[in-house]
Amino acid sequence: MPALWIKNARVIDPAAKRDAVGDIFVKNGRIAASLSATDKKRAKVIDATGRVACPGLVDVHVHFREPGQTHKETIATGTRAAAAGGFTTVVCMPNTTPPASTPGTIQFIQDAIERDAVVHVYPTGCITVDMKGEALAPIGSLKRAGVVAITDDGDCVQSNELMRRACEYAGMFDLPIMDHCQDHSMTQGAVMNEGVVSTRLGLRGWPNAAEDIIVSRNVILSTYTGAHIHMQHISSKNAVEILRRAKARGIRVTAEATPHHLALTDAALGTYDPNFKMNPPLRTEEDRQALITGIKDGTIDIVATDHAPHTNYEKDKEFDFAPNGILGLETALPVTLGVLLREARLKLPRIIDLMTRRPAELFKLPAGTLADGACADICLFDPDESWTYDTNAGFSKSANSPWHGQELKGRVKTTIVAGRVVYDGRRMP
First to last CA, the chain: 15
For residue 400, the cross-strand partners are none
394 Cβ contact partners less than 8 Å away, ≥ 6 residues apart: 81, 84, 327, 330, 401
Q: CA-to-CA distance for 310 and 69, rounded, in angstroms? A: 9
Cα torsion 227, 255, 113, 357: sign: negative
Separation CA 262–CA 61 (nearest Å): 16
φ and ψ at 270, to 5 degrees? -60, -25
Rounded to whole angstroms, how far apart are CA atoms 372 and 61? Answer: 28
Would you call 116 a catalytic residue per the annotation?
no
Cβ contacts of residue 33 below 8 Å, gap of 6+? 25, 372
Q: Are 31 and 377 spatial neighbours (Cβ–Cβ below 8 Å)?
A: no
Using only the alpha carbons of the chain, give its radius of gyration: 21
Which of 13, 155, 287, 306 is catalytic? The answer is 306
Catalytic amino acids?
A: 306
